[in-house]
């Protein structure tokens, strides 16, 4: 009975999992970002790096704390009768020993090593936060890209439907003798070209969804439904607000990492200097000797002992001096890199603002261009139905509409990417 219940429970779990997989995921942008933060494999590795850095920090601290070691032993000598010129004869009974020793060693390099480990832990935390931001931005980019591609596919399907209707109308006109066969052939080529574009767009859309699945950490083939539309998410009014944001360097994760890297380089210089300084170590030991059987004739074991050592580097053939010199040069190089990167980030902010402003202007222009081109196509379609426009005019207008739609989509993607890039630089969620 128990075995039957176990099998039943496992079957229910399998059915539940299969149902969840078949239903897929329905996600808003915020839900997709949160799902990625919980399941993305790159973030999992970044979290493990934090744990490793914490372990390294405590390892460095532990090297400065007292160490305690214990040992126990047993010895027995066979044929152990000893004589001293036949004046004194004695034998060595079995013995047992117990020893406890605590020791501590301190040096400047150990203190600096603990500071370096602390900096490494802080850098791991920053790297994790940066990875979280990059993951959310990547999900946002893919989410928008999928919506844009779906919008493109929708526009192409509308165009295909219109062209197919016009082609069917032309075929009917040819049959009754009021239109030329070449007109129908031209529109048929236009239909085939549109279908090819739609198939290519479907393939691109599937690639976008596969990238989204990979970043979400879900299995390949898992159905994903995006529950928000471009109209829900696209807020062009926020562009002006974003362009007016002040760039605070300390909020940028790359800048934070660079500051920590410079601080680490300085501590490495201190470590090289402390390697030339004295170090001290001390110990305390307690030991006891126990005789089994007949008591030994003498016991020279000292139960308590202490000791200390001061180690002073006297001559190292200039190796430590050159080590300090190399660390100093590395620190100066890091300072130069820090200054250069700081200016680079400021220039990058200026460039990103320019890119966003330009993308916003281009987007507005393409919106107007699309509206005008759509009206021209609709007008020519009506004229063509009435016989007031040729099929060549209609084909050219259709091509212009597809080109305008493509330019509009490209402008929309450029606007989204420019906005995300600036938000990432400013660390705006």
Is the C-alpha dihedral spanning 375, 378, 381, 387 positive or negative? negative
A 10 A CB-CB count for 331 gives 19
pLDDT exceeds cutoff 80 at 215: yes
pLDDT score for 79: 54
pLDDT score for 126: 87
pLDDT digits (tens, 9 = 90+) for 236-250: 778 888 888 899 999
Burial of 167 from C-beta contacts in 10 A (0-12 / 13-18 / 19+): buried
Higher-pLDDT residue of 293, 399: 399
Q: Give the three-class secondary structure for 192.
A: helix
- Percentage helix, strand, coil, to 5, in the chain? 70, 15, 20
pLDDT score for 269: 85
Residue range 411-416: mean pLDDT, rounded: 90
Domain positions in the chain: 29-65+107-277+316-426, 67-106+281-312
CA distances from 41 to 21, 37, 47, 127 (A): 19, 9, 10, 15
Burial of 166 from C-beta contacts in 10 A (0-12 / 13-18 / 19+): buried
Residue range 331-343: mean pLDDT, rounded: 90
Q: Give the three-class secondary structure for 242.
A: helix
CA distances from 302 to 68, 75, 283, 359, 427 (A): 19, 18, 15, 85, 66
pLDDT exceeds cutoff 90 at 234: no
Please state whether 317 falls in left (phi above 0), alpha (psi between -120 and 50) or beta.
left
Contact status, residue 68 vs residue 118, Cβ threshold 8 Å: no
pLDDT digits (tens, 9 = 90+) for 358-373: 999 999 999 999 999 9
Q: In this structure, what DSSP letter does residue 218 have?
A: -
Instruction: Work out the percent of the chain whose per-residue pLDDT is above 70.
Output: 83
Residue range 298-320: mean pLDDT, rounded: 73
Averaged confidence pLDDT in the chain: 80
Band (pLDDT 50/70/90 cuts) for residue 36 is confident
Band (pLDDT 50/70/90 cuts) for residue 163 is confident
pLDDT score for 88: 52
pLDDT exceeds cutoff 70 at 7: no
The DSSP secondary structure of 350-400, one letter per residue, reads: HHHHHHHHHHHHHHHHHHHHHHHHHHHHHHHHHHHHTTSS-HHHHHHHHHH
Specify the residue for token string 């890039």. 421
pLDDT score for 304: 81
Looking at the whole model, is its pTM more than 0.85? no
- HSE-up (13 A, CA, CB side) for residue 284: 3
The DSSP secondary structure of 268-314, one letter per residue, reads: HHHHHHHTTS-EEEEEEEEEEEEE-SSPPS-----SEEEEEEEE---
- Between CA 293 and CA 303, with CA 299 as vertex, the angle to 5 degrees is 110
pLDDT exceeds cutoff 70 at 303: yes
The domain covering 29-65+107-277+316-426 belongs, at the CATH homologous superfamily level, to Outer membrane efflux proteins (OEP) (1.20.1600.10)
Residue range 338-351: mean pLDDT, rounded: 93
Q: Shortest CA distance to 359 belongs to which of 427, 424, 425, 407?
A: 407
Higher-pLDDT residue of 74, 123: 123
């Amino acid at each position: 009975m128990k075995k039957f219940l176990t099998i039943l429970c496992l079957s229910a779990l399998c059915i539940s999992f299969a149902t969840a997989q078949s239903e897929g995921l329905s996600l808003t942008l915020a839900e997709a970002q949160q799902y990625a933060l919980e399941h993305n494999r790159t973030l999992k590795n970044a979290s493990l790096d934090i744990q490793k850095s914490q372990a390294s920090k405590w390892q460095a601290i532990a090297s400065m704390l007292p160490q305690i070691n214990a040992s126990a032993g047993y010895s027995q000598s066979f044929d152990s009768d000893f004589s001293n010129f036949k004046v004194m004869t004695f034998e060595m009974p079995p013995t047992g020993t117990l020893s406890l020793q605590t020791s501590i060693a301190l040096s400047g390099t150990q203190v600096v090593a603990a500071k370096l480990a602390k900096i490494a832990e802080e850098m791991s935390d920053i790297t994790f936060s940066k990875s979280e931001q990059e993951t959310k931005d990547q999900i946002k980019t893919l989410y928008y890209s999928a919506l844009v591609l779906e919008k493109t596919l929708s526009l192409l399907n509308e165009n295909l439907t219109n062209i197919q209707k016009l082609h069917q109308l032309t075929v009917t006109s040819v049959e009754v003798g009021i239109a030329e066969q070449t007109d129908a052939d031209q529109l048929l080529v236009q239909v085939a070209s549109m279908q090819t574009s739609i198939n290519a767009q479907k393939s691109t859309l599937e690639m976008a969804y596969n990238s989204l699945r990979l970043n979400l950490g879900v299995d390949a083939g898992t159905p994903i439904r995006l529950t928000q539309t471009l109209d829900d998410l696209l807020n062009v009014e926020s562009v002006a607000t974003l362009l007016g944001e002040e760039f605070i360097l300390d909020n940028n994760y790359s800048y934070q990492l660079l500051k920590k890297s410079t601080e680490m380089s300085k501590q490495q210089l201190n470590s090289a200097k402390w390697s030339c300084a004295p170090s001290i170590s001390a110990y305390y030991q307690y030991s006891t000797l126990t005789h089994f059987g007949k008591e030994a004739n003498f016991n020279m074991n000292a139960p308590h002992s202490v000791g200390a050592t001061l180690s002073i580097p006297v001559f190292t053939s200039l190796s430590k001096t050159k080590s300090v010199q190399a660390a100093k040069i590395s620190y100066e190089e890091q300072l130069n890199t820090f200054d250069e990167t700081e200016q680079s980030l400021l220039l990058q902010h200026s460039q990103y603002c320019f890119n966003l402003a330009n993308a916003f202007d281009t987007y507005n222009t393409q919106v107007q261009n699309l509206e005008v081109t759509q009206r021209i196509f609709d007008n020519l379609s009506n004229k063509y139905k009435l016989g007031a426009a040729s099929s060549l005019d209609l084909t050219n207008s259709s091509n212009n509409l597809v080109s305008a739609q493509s330019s509009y989509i490209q402008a929309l993607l450029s606007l989204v990417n420019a906005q995300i890039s600036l938000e990432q630089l400013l660390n705006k969620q």
